[in-house]
Structure formats: C-alpha cells, structure tokens
A and B are shown apart, each in its own frame.
Chain A
Amino acid sequence: MSSLLTILIDGLTYASWLFIVALGLTLVFGVLKILNIAHGSFYALGAYAAASFVGWAATMKWAPGFTLVAMLLAAVAVAAVVAPLTERGLLRFFYGRDEVLLVLVTYAMFLIMEDVTKLIWGANPYYVSEPYGLFGNIDIGHQTYVGYDFVLVLLAAVVGLVVWWGLNRTRQGKIVLAVIHSSEIAASMGVNVSRVYMLAFSIGIFLAALGGAFTAPMISVQPGVSVGVIIVSFAVVIIGGLGSIEGAALGALIVGLARSLAVHLAPVAELFSIYCVMAIVLMFRPEGLFQRIQSRKI
C-alpha cells in the first residue's frame, strides 16, 4: 500500500513538472502550428533567468519567500522580451510554409540559443537551491518528501486551470480558438491574427520559462539542461494530442505514472515505459487521446 502511494506521489510530481512545459509546447502548436524544437531552450532560458533574478533578489535582501516572486518575474521577463523578438523577428516569415521547414527553423533556434545562453551566463553552473527548502519536508510513510515538490503540483494545477479558463471562458480566448479553427476566416472577421500569434507564442514561451524557473532550485543550471525536457515533453503532447490542454494534462499524468511504475518495479525499463505507452496510445488513437480527426483542407 505504501509502495503504491509512493508510486502515485512520484508519478504526480514528475507529471506536474512535465505538464507545465508540455502545456506551452501544445499551445504553440495548437495556435501557430509550429512544432517548436527550441521549446527546451526557452525552458533553459527560464532557469538561467531565475538564477539571475534570485541572485539579484538576494542582493536586494528580499525575504526568502520572495524568491518565488523573483522566479515568476524571471519567466515573465523571458516571455516579454525573447518571445516577441523571436516570433516577430524570425518565425512570422515562415508562416504558411511547410511544417517541416518550421521544425528545421526551430531546431536552428535551439542550437543558436544553446550558444547564446553560454555567451551570456558562461559554462559554470548556477545554483538557486534556497527556494527548494522554503516549504520544509513532509514525511509520508517511509518517505521524506520536499514540500517544494508539492508546490510544483499546485502550480501545475493552477497554470492548467488558468490557461483552460483563459481559452474557453474569455473573449480573448475565444478569439484564439477562432484563429486555431481557421486563421483565414478569423482574419476576414477582423481578428488581428498576427497579434494573436504573438500573444499565444509568448504565453507558450512563458510556460516553458516558468517550468525552467521553478525547476532551477532542484538542479544545477548549466549548458545542456534544455535537452532532456524537450524529448519527454514531445511524448506527452503526442499521447495527449497536439494542441490539446486536456491532452497535455492526461499525457503528462500517464507518462509520469508509467515512468514511476517502471523506476520502482523495473528500473531498466524506465525509458521504454514512456515510449511503450506512447506507442500503445498511437496504435489505437493515432491522433492522440484528445485530438479530433481533422479533414484535410484543400
């Protein structure tokens, strides 16, 4: 029983981390139809920005609790500065082109951003571990968990609900949905599609940066942190269905639980478990769990 509980908790905490990042990935694909390979780079940028902001907060002698605000501000800064620059300065020139070309463009961005982060922050590691201890430890059964892990679960739930509510219950969200359905018709109805694209891309990048910023206290922030997260995030959105928020949530939960089960019962099958689940889902639902089959437009 306690093993089952441990597996569930581990699965949930891993899934919450994955969900925050995968949600941004699926949102960008849903609106802009871009499979953003550079999403992990924005995650890394969020982690680096958090390291700088938390360091700055420390020099300003902010109370320890405000380091979380500093991390949030770091994600906002990345979204406010880098996302519009990237979307307006590069991506918009490729809209309407083959999706494969956009994959190559974002792959090039990934390579460039890896070097840019190294030019700005260097190769030495950054530690932002202070926020990790803010919420103390929680003993459950034989295990001791760090309270921060459960804060991440809460953060993922809040982020998921806010994005869902924003898309489905606000006027701006309905405009975004109209653009997702058909950008041409939305444009003919007077929607500023370019603005919607920039907004959606910025929110997607904010989510990637938020994931990176709140992961920073658990890792050493250094070159290469962008790689691991992007591969698993793709598995999540493919399982859930590209462009679906509910799909990203369920996909993250499935991946998190499958991985947790494997690590506890058959560690050698850790990676296999994730892609095995993905293969099974795709066998029965090639379009993912929450993606409707779409007719091809001519």
Chain B
Amino acid sequence: MVRHQGLAVTWQRAAARSVIGAVAAVCLSGASQAQETFKIGIVSFLSGQAAESFGIPAVNGAKVVIDAFNKGAAPAPYNKTGFGGMKIEPIYVDENGGATKQVQELRNLYDRDKVDAVVGYVGSGDCLAVAPVAEEMKKFLVLYDCGTPRIFEDNKLNYVFRTAAHATMDNVALARYLKARNIKVGSFNRINQDYAWGQDSKKDFTWSMEKLYPEAKAGEDQLPKFGSGQYGTEISALMSKPADITHSSLWGGDLQAFILQAGPRGLFKKSQVVLSAGDHVLPSLGEKMPDGTILGARGAYGLMSPKSALNDWWWDIYSKAYNVYPVQAPYRMVQSLLGLKLAVEKAMAANGGKKPTPEQLAAALRGLEWDSPAGKIRMALGNGHQAIQETAIGKTRYDAARKMVMLDDIVRFPAECVNPPANMKSEDWIKAGFPGAKGCP
C-alpha cells in the first residue's frame, strides 16, 4: 500500500512534472512565438519635394495597415495577426538625399538593423540604384512605387520585386483613353521631368500615339529639371505652338506649380491636357484644378478604385486616420504590404511555420497573385518579379457642393490591355502595335 502510495506519489509527481514541463514548453514556445518579429525597412520620402504627395501619404498608409495587421484586424485572407503570427516591426527611412545615400541606407537596413525585408522607393533613379545592391547582398527587396520599366526589362533579378505596374501601363492607357473616347488628335506636345521617370513616360506615350494616332504630329518636348518650380518659360513654349493634346507625367509639387501657373495662362483651355499620374494633387488643389483634365493614377486608385469589401475597409481606415481619402502612393504601399504578407505566410507554411529565408520569401512571392483594394495584382512579368494590374483613366470636374474634384467619364483598362506580355520589353511591345493586348475597351 505504502509502496503503492509511493508509486502513486511518484507517478503523480512525474505526471505533474510532465504537465508543468509541457505547460512551460508551451508557454516558452508561445513566448518565443510572441517575441518573434518580422522587421521591415520602409523607405519613402519623409522630406524634400516628394514627401507631401508621395512619401508621407505612403508611410501613413503603411502605418494604418501594419497596425491593422498587428491587431489581426484586416479582412480575410489577411486576418492572421502580423505576418503569420509574427509581430511586424517597421523601421521608417527617409528616401531624400539621392541614390548614393539610398544605397548606403539600404546596406544599413540589412546589416545594422537586420531587417527581414525592405519595402520602398518612389524615385526611379533610386530603384535603379538599390536593386543591384539587394541582389548582390542576397536580401529581399520590394519596390512599391517607382515607375521606370527598365528595372526588370534590363536585368534578371532574384531577390527584387516590384508589386505595382510600371509606367508603360500609365501612358499606354492614356493614349488608349483618347482613342476610346474618339478624341481628335492632330498634334501633341509634351512636358516631362528630365530624369528616368519623365523620359520613360514621354517615350512610352509618344510611341503609343505613333501607333494609335499615326497621323498625329509630335510637337514641343519640354524637359524641365525635377523640382524646377518655375514653368513660365515652358508654358510659353507650349502655347507658342499649341497642340490638340499636352501630355505630362509631372507629379508632386512640380505638377501643382505647373497647374497653378498654366491654368491662369489658358493652357488648359487651348489644349487638352492629359496627366499620367495626376490624381494625387486633386484633394489639395480642389477648385484650382481645371475641369476637363484627363488623368490617370498609375492604377485604379483613389476616386477610380473598384468597389469591393477590401477597398471599403482600406478607404475607411485611411480616411478616418488622416481625414483625406487615399490616393495612389498609399494604395501602392498597401498592395505591396498585402502581397508581402501573403508571401511571408506562404513561405512560413512551406518552412514548418518558421520565419523564411530571403530565398524562401522570393520563391513565395515569385508569380504570386493577390487581391488588393485596387483589384487583382499579378506578378506576371520579369520572371514573376514585376506586377501587372488593371488601371483607369478619368476626367476632372470640380463639385462645388461636395467641395472636391470628382472624376467623370472613367474608362477601365484590364491589365492585359495596357501591360506588355511576359516575353516582350515595353518598347518592343508598343512599337510592334501592342501584340497580345486583350480586353481593351
């Protein structure tokens, strides 16, 4: 009995030890799980000329979405807490200061801050500079905003992704909009900033017009420097030989200054102005934005975004947090973070629930498709590293009752209509007359 008692005590002690051990293990594992974080370096303009229109709205978008992820408050399939249970820890870095500084900052993020991924870059020049560095370091990099098509068309990259369509889509869509709306174009002028984004946008629009309006003559080709601010001379040049269409990819403070100076001089009345990336100035310019301007948002963003539960959720959390509706930059930020979340969780599932390596992350994001507030994002180009998406173009009208600029006459373009196929470079695709383009209105 005693022996039995002894045995029973021993058994009970052993059971208690086991239970305590198991509980402790669970707790420890839980604690370690709870402590596990996924560090993201988020690089965007926090100062300088691109901060107001792009950098800060994008970072604001990142903040509300990461907060929602960490609380597990995003809608399905994005409703797991953080990234697969790992708390997301963002580190925000200012993109201002030039490409050389960005290369150093990127190295610091990977080497010093030990981030698991970097999401960033508005400037096309910055993207072109940092992509080879991430590749050389074998670190995971998501380009969320910059537009130059050259990154994946001129390079084969393994660790670098761009989760938004490139600038070819914007300019092909603009030209197709003119055609879809039967707008007569006998001539067209252009004004674009003198750097990678402006030059590429100008070329894509010009080539598209050559195909869709072969009779139209290309006129003025103004290339002011980035941050010029004073456009009086350029406006005179554009008005000296007014064309049916004036195309521009100006953005941010440059676009605002151009509109403020060209509006009173009558350029918008003498010529149909078409802006490839103009949506982001609408909330701030308000009634100063000339009616009837045709513009794109570099995607189906903001006032042109499609109706969906995901878009309603995103619009709501952003508008409540910042008292303004989201425009293109925060939209592109949220679509990159949604894609990254799914890729991390997919890679974790394939890695036994553990944090994935850059190689595993890259494998998970390559060729991935996901729903975003702006529609379906598909990593269809550049060997699965470059996204395509649908886009939309509309026409401005100031609504005095609502005290905001509305967009009318919106035309939507499926991704396959305005993006090149996987086996062609943008330039070759446009010059060949858009072979394989599908579903164009």
Contact = CB atoms under 8 A, between A and B. Distances in A.
B261 A143 contact: no
A205 interface: no
Contacts of A17: 230
A233 to B, nearest CB: 12
Contacts, number: 127
Interface in A222-246: 222-225, 227-229
Interface residues of B, number: 37
B236 A143 contact: yes
B229 A229 contact: yes
Nearest to B221: A267
Interface string A116-156: 00100001110101001100010000111110010000000
Contacts of A202: none
Interface residues of A, number: 45
A219 interface: yes
Interface of B: 47-52, 56, 96, 194, 220-225, 227-230, 232-234, 236-237, 239-240, 253, 256-257, 260-261, 264-266, 284-285, 288
Given A143-B240, A264-B236, A267-B220, A222 B49 contact: yes
Interface stretch (A6-14, A70-78, A89-97, A290-298): A6-14
B51 A224 contact: yes
17 contacts: A14-B230, A17-B230, A115-B47, A125-B52, A127-B288, A144-B265, A145-B265, A218-B260, A219-B229, A219-B256, A223-B48, A225-B253, A228-B225, A267-B223, A267-B237, A268-B223, A270-B224
Given A218-B230, A267-B220, A223 B49 contact: yes
B240 A125 contact: no
B163 to A, nearest CB: 24
B56 A123 contact: yes
Interface string A206-223: 000000000101111011
B98 to A, nearest CB: 11
Contacts of B220: 267
* Residue from B56, B96, B224, B236 having most chain A Cβ neighbours under 10 A: B236
B232 A124 contact: no
A270 B193 CA distance: 12
A69 interface: no
A268 B56 CA distance: 31
Given A129-B288, A220-B260, A263-B222, A228 B47 contact: no
Contact of B257 (A6, A124, A218, A267): A218
A125 B230 CA distance: 17
Nearest to A268: B223
A96 B4 CA distance: 97
A280 interface: no
A271 interface: yes
Nearest to A126: B284
A215 B230 CA distance: 9
Contacts of B51: 118, 123, 222-224
* Residue from B51, B96, B227, B232 having most chain A Cβ neighbours under 10 A: B232
Interface of A: 3, 6, 9-11, 13-14, 17, 114-115, 118, 123-125, 127, 129, 132-133, 137, 142-146, 149, 215, 217-220, 222-225, 227-229, 259-260, 263-264, 267-268, 270-271
Nearest to B261: A218
Given A218-B230, A224-B227, A271-B194, A143 B49 contact: no
A219 B253 contact: yes
Contacts of A260: 233
A229 B232 CA distance: 15
Given A14-B233, A114-B47, A218-B230, A6 B240 contact: yes
Contacts of A223: 47-49, 51-52
* Residue from B194, B234, B237 having most chain A Cβ neighbours under 10 A: B237
B231 to A, nearest CB: 9
Given A142-B239, A224-B227, A263 B48 contact: no
Given A143-B240, A263-B222, A123 B52 contact: yes
A217 B260 CA distance: 8
Given A3-B240, A228-B227, 10 more contacts: A123-B51, A124-B52, A125-B253, A132-B260, A142-B240, A144-B239, A218-B230, A225-B49, A263-B222, A267-B222
Contact of B239 (A9, A114, A115, A143): A143
For chain A, what secondary structure do more than half of its interface residues adopt (helix, strand, loop), or is it mixed? helix
Contacts of B229: 215, 219, 225, 228-229
A14 B233 CA distance: 8
Given A219-B253, A264-B240, A271-B194, A224 B50 contact: yes
Contacts of B233: 10-11, 14, 259-260, 263-264
Contacts of B228: 228
* Residue from A17, A215, A225 having most chain B Cβ neighbours under 10 A: A225
Contacts of B56: 123
Contacts of A229: 229
B152 to A, nearest CB: 27
B328 to A, nearest CB: 16
Contacts of A143: 236, 239-240, 265
B284 A146 contact: no
B230 A124 contact: no
A263 B225 CA distance: 11
Contact of A14 (B49, B232, B256, B284): B232
A31 B221 CA distance: 43
The 5 A-B pairs with the shortest beta carbon distances in the complex, nearest first, are A224-B49, A220-B256, A10-B233, A224-B48, A219-B257
A267 B240 CA distance: 14
Nearest to B225: A271
A235 B222 CA distance: 22
Given A13-B232, A125-B284, A146 B223 contact: no
A127 B284 CA distance: 9
A270 B261 CA distance: 19
B203 to A, nearest CB: 14
Given A132-B264, A144-B265, A227-B49, A222 B253 contact: yes
B157 to A, nearest CB: 30
B169 to A, nearest CB: 26
A170 to B, nearest CB: 33
A48 to B, nearest CB: 13
B260 A227 contact: no
Contact of B227 (A137, A145, A227, A263): A227
Contacts of A118: 47, 51
Contacts of A228: 225, 227-229
B277 to A, nearest CB: 16
